[in-house]
């Protein structure tokens, strides 16, 4: 056996600091109630915002695609891996996002990395400090200069843009909905600044797709900014219910990414059943405004009640509702005690969030009933009192 001493010491340290992430093994599929250790538990941490993982249209599409195409695509997209169903998905995604084109990747994570390919050594990328890890890692892969602005701070963004006039390209990148805080990027202000300083706007709508805008078209639609946001990334892994990601924008962007984006070029394409599932999901979104209405009504109900109890939910304004605890060990204890009460809500600690900003993150979905949400709120009150968060 290799000498793993250094790794073992690091793991011990994580455990000591209460930052060791357990893997929870679920015995049933993604739903509002799931089984763990033979117990039924209320799920409050899934990104299955609209409950589409179990939608009959999506299941049927997946089964039919397996019958028609088999289970795998056989290679990367540029060899045998572009089947009719992949092409159709991209066309419908572009129509849904009201852009010229869309390009599908294997995940939202690799989409962000792939899109960063547009940056060269003469460019600068300007990023919100709370952007997702996949954006941060994507930036690390480029030769571009990087600048970080304080979370949603438009004065700082303008100051940075003012200093960056000499770069060949300026790209401003932001999450549309911030995954750990559930707040929304000030996209209209970002777009105005980008227009003033000739910058490209790149928004990661992982948590806005299927959530914000008409029929869940995302943050660009939500703010009425059609044509003014140049790159819209979305995932197919959250509200859409399956797995994958896409970049929507001009045809030239798609053409360039096909030639240059390494995660696209060198990794096998999605199984046809996944592409078919996503296509069915987009069709459900197009006709299901009420599902999104239900999601927002549930989110507002839950957030209002949690705040009324006296919890700190930070800047949450979407179905992502963090309960900020602070200390990592106390955060994980809070999450463990909630599970004992039958509620699963993930504790999130450093380095995903700042050391003193540990939180238990609740995600409300359209399929939660009012009884479900009240059950979670009762558990929160009980556990919050027990560990002194509600004094």
The residues that are catalytic are 179, 207, 238
Binding span for ligand PMP by CB under 6 A among 204-212, 274-282, 284-292, 354-362: 204-212
Among 132, 170, 361, 368, binds ligand PMP (CB under 6 A): 132
**Does 311 contact ligand PMP by CB under 6 A?**
no
* Closest to 32 in 3D by CA, of 58, 4, 8, 51: 51
Hunting for tokens 């995903």 — which residue is that? 352
CB of 131 to ligand PMP, least distance (A): 8
* Rounded distance between C-alpha atoms, residue 277 and residue 349, angstroms: 33
DSSP 220-284: HHHTT-TTT-SEEEEESSSTTSS--EEEEE-HHHHHHHHHH-HHHHTSBPPPHHHHHHHHHHHHH
Among 123, 128, 204, 221, binds ligand PMP (CB under 6 A): 204
Closer CB to ligand PMP, 48 or 377, in the complex:
48
Closer CB to ligand PMP, 175 or 221, in the complex:
175
**Does 86 contact ligand PMP by CB under 6 A?**
no
| Binding track, positions 358-377, relative to ligand PMP; x by CB under 6 A | --------------------
Q: Using CB atoms within 10 A of its CB, is residue 22 exposed (0-12), middle (13-18) or buried (19+)?
A: exposed
CB of 53 to ligand PMP, least distance (A): 14
**Does 331 contact ligand PMP by CB under 6 A?**
no
**Does 127 contact ligand PMP by CB under 6 A?**
no
| Binding track, positions 91-110, relative to ligand PMP; x by CB under 6 A | ----------------xxx-
CB of 9 to ligand PMP, least distance (A): 29
DSSP 172-234: EEEESB-TTT--B--HHHHHHHHHHTT-EEEEE-TTTTTTSSGGG--HHHHTT-TTT-SEEEE
**Does 246 contact ligand PMP by CB under 6 A?**
no
Among 113, 237, 277, 288, binds ligand PMP (CB under 6 A): 237
Provide the 8-state DSSP code for 327. S
Print burial letters for 99-112: b (CB count within 10 Å at least 16), e (below 16).
bebbbbbbbbbbbb
**Does 134 contact ligand PMP by CB under 6 A?**
yes
Beta partners for residue 76, in sequence order: 268
Interface residues with ligand PMP (CB under 6 A) are 107-109, 112, 132, 134, 175, 179, 204, 206-207, 235, 237, 245
């Amino acid at each position: 056996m290799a000498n793993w001493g250094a790794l073992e010491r690091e793991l011990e340290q994580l455990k000591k600091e209460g930052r060791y992430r357990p893997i929870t093994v679920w015995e049933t599929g993604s739903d509002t109630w799931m089984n763990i250790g033979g117990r039924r538990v209320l799920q409050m941490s899934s990104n299955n915002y609209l409950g589409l993982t179990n939608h009959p249209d999506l299941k049927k599409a997946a089964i039919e695609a397996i019958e028609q195409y088999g289970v795998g695509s056989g290679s990367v997209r540029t060899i045998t891996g572009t089947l009719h169903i992949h092409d159709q998905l991209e066309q419908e995604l572009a129509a849904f996002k009201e852009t010229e084109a869309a390009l599908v990747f294997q995940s939202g994570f690799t989409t962000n990395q792939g899109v960063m390919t547009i940056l060269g050594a003469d460019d600068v990328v300007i990023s919100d400090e709370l952007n997702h890890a996949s954006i941060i890692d994507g930036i690390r892969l480029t030769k571009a200069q990087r600048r970080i602005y304080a979370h949603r701070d438009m004065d700082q963004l303008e100051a940075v843009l003012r200093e960056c006039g000499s770069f060949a390209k300026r790209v401003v990148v932001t999450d549309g909905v911030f995954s750990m805080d559930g707040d929304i990027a000030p996209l209209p202000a970002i777009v105005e600044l980008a227009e003033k300083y000739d910058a490209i706007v790149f928004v990661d709508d992982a948590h806005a797709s299927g959530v914000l805008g008409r029929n869940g078209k995302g943050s660009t639609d939500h703010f009425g900014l059609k044509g003014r946001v140049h790159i819209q990334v979305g995932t197919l892994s959250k509200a859409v219910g399956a797995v994958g990601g896409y970049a929507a924008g001009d045809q030239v962007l798609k053409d360039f990414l096909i030639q240059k984006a390494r995660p696209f070029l060198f990794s096998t394409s999605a199984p046809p059943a996944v592409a078919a599932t996503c296509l069915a999901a987009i069709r459900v979104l197009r006709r299901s405004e009420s599902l999104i209405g239900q999601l927002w009504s549930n989110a507002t109900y839950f957030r209002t009640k949690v705040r009324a109890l006296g919890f700190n939910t930070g800047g949450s304004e979407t179905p992502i509702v963090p309960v900020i605890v602070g200390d990592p060990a106390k955060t994980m204890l809070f999450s463990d005690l909630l599970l004992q009460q039958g509620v699963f809500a993930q504790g999130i600690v450093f380095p995903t969030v700042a050391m003193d900003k540990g939180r238990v993150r609740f995600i409300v979905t359209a399929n939660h009933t009012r009884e479900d949400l009240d059950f979670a709120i009762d558990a929160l009150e009980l556990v919050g009192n027990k560990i002194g968060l509600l004094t």
